[in-house]
Amino acid sequence: ASVVAMGSYEREFRRPTYLTLIEAKRTEVTVQAPEPTSILGLLAFGGLLSLTCRSKRRTS
């Protein structure tokens, strides 16, 4: 990726003035990667869900 920024700033001074130009660079990167699914986690969640549904049916 590349970025090109162009602009201008204008100001008039009444008396002689010294100016200092300072360049500031800031780079920030955010990376997102898909997380792998865990078969064991999905099986455990499914087991807990089925136990919950069964216990609700018995109490009804």
Tokens of 19: 């100016």
pLDDT over 70 for what percent of the chain? 77
Among the listed residues 45, 43, 41, 47, the one whose alpha carbon sits nearest the alpha carbon of residue 55: 47
pLDDT tens for residues 27-43?
777 777 666 667 777 77
Query: Whose structure tokens read 């955010």?
Result: 30
pLDDT tens for residues 46-55?
888 888 877 6
Tokens of 31: 């990376």
